[in-house]
Amino acid sequence: MEGNDLRKAGLKVTLPRVKILDILEKSGTRHLSAEDIYRRLVDLKEDIGLATVYRVLTQFEAAGLITRHHFADGMAVFELNAGPHHDHILCLDCGRVEEFVDSGIEERQTAVAERHGFAISDHALVIYGHCRKAQCPHRSAPTHE
Amino acid sequence: MEGNDLRKAGLKVTLPRVKILDILEKSGTRHLSAEDIYRRLVDLKEDIGLATVYRVLTQFEAAGLITRHHFADGMAVFELNAGPHHDHILCLDCGRVEEFVDSGIEERQTAVAERHGFAISDHALVIYGHCRKAQCPHRSAPTHE
DNA sequence: ATGTATGCAAAACATTTGCACCTGG
DNA sequence: CCAGGTGCAAATGTTTTGCATACAT
């Protein structure tokens, strides 16, 4: 029961928050936009407004439950913080997003930050490409759904 | 005279395009938003609309003259394509953006793409941090200007 | 000339906010 | 009960588009 995660994060356990967290946890795709989540709520016949979705997502982000990403189209997508840090590789044809970690890249980023006199706080690395896979239909629709 | 760059890019040499390219070339900051450019045009008493700024920037991007970035705040900033590829490190306090290249990171990205079966097309790497420099006043204003 | 580019105003989006009402602890 | 959360509608900020006019070739 995810009420505990919410309590641990210092958030009151309300119906919208539980439902939204549930969607994030159960979603096949790990990266959802506010609209994506709102549409799923509508499908579930939940009476939750889009404004609340944005508010809740912002709170989740502040609480460290989720991370907000801006991929190339500029629209925000949100991802549950499960497991440790990772970066993203995204298919420009089918919108598939895969995750990876490369310790060498991580180390070198720290080195770059030091070299420039920065205390590193975070980073965002997205590789854009074309996945040559059977499932990828070379669609034009770029990002999600 | 930058008219040549425009002609080479297959674009008619018009006053708005020349002026905007000029601003991009002469700007101290290498990363400008559409609004930044529009404000400079207003300062120069040029009668060029914001819509034109967006249209011209989109054409410049399509022609490969500039690159569009989305840093953490989601608003688009544009940068002249001078010199070879590089990534960015950004100060969350003063908004300073510095550039770097790390061949090790580049190589490892190619390796990651191959490992995932992607033909790499592009990538975006931004490191966020705090520059401990005298000039950095720990302001709250995040990005530019 | 003539097709393309521009300015302006209005539209289209994604996201945020104000406010009266509802709800969880 | 009461602070805080929520729905709705309206506001915001950014980017796009429609259309009549102006401009480069």
* A contacts of B113 (beta carbons < 8 Å): 89, 127, 129
pLDDT at position A140: 40
State the residue for tokens 């005279």: B1
Structure tokens that stand for A58 in this block: 């912002």
Distance B52 CA to C5 C1' (A): 9
Which of A117, A121, A129 is opposite residue B92, by nearest beta carbon?
A121
Q: How far, in Å, CA of A57 to CA of A41, rounded?
A: 14
User: Measured between beta carbons, which residues in chain B are less than 8 angstroms from residue A74?
Assistant: 70, 74-76
* Token representation of residue A74: 């500029």
Which nucleotide in the DNA or RNA is closest to residue B6, CA to C1'?
A: D24
Which of B109, B132, B133 is facing A127, going by the closest CB pair?
A: B109
Instruction: Say whether B124 and A120 touch across the interface (CB within 8 A).
Output: no
Identity of the amino acid at B122? D
Whether B5 has a pLDDT exceeding 60, the answer reads yes
Instruction: Report pLDDT for A142.
Output: 41
Are the beta carbons of A72 and B70 separated by less than 8 Å? yes
Q: What is the mean pLDDT of residues B114-118?
A: 96
The model's pTM is 0.88
Which residues make beta-bridge pairs with A127? A89, B123
Would you call A126 and B127 a contact, using CB atoms and an 8 Å cutoff?
no
Of the listed ranges A75-79, B57-61, B136-140, the one predicted with least confidence: B136-140
Q: Is the model's pLDDT at B137 over the cut of 70?
A: no
Chain A contact probe: residue of B57, B101, B125 with most A CBs at under 10 A: B125
Helix (H) or strand (E) holding B111: helix B103-115
Q: DSSP states of chain B as a string? A: -THHHHHHTT----HHHHHHHHHHHH-SSS-B-HHHHHHHHHHTT----HHHHHHHHHHHHHTTSEEEEE-TT--EEEEE--SS--EEEEETTT--EEEE--HHHHHHHHHHHHHTTEEEEEEEEEEEEEE--TT----S--S--
pLDDT in tens, B67-110: 999 999 899 999 999 888 999 999 998 888 999 999 999 999 99
pLDDT of residue B2: 65
Read off φ and ψ for residue B15, nearest 5 degrees. -60, -50
Residue A55's nearest nucleotide, by CA–C1', is: C16
Identify the band that residue B54 occupies on the pLDDT scale cut at 50, 70 and 90.
Answer: very high
What pLDDT score was predicted for residue A135?
Answer: 77
Specify the pLDDT at position A13: 97
pLDDT of residue A120: 95
Identify the pLDDT of residue A141.
41
Task: Find the CB nearest B74 among A74, A89, A125.
Answer: A74
- CA-to-CA distance for A123 and B49, rounded, in angstroms? 35
B38: Cα within 13 Å, side-chain hemisphere? 13
Centre a 10 Å sphere on the Cβ of residue B47 and count the other Cβ atoms it contains.
10
- Least confident piece of the model among B92-101, B106-115, B130-139: B130-139
Chunked in runs of 10, what are the mean pLDDT values of chain A (145 residues)? 84 98 94 97 97 98 96 94 92 92 96 96 95 71 39
Instruction: Give, in Å, how far the C1' of D23 lies from the CA of A90.
Output: 42
Mutation for A interface: B61, B96, B112, most A CBs within 10 A = B112
Q: What is the amino acid identity at position A43? A: D
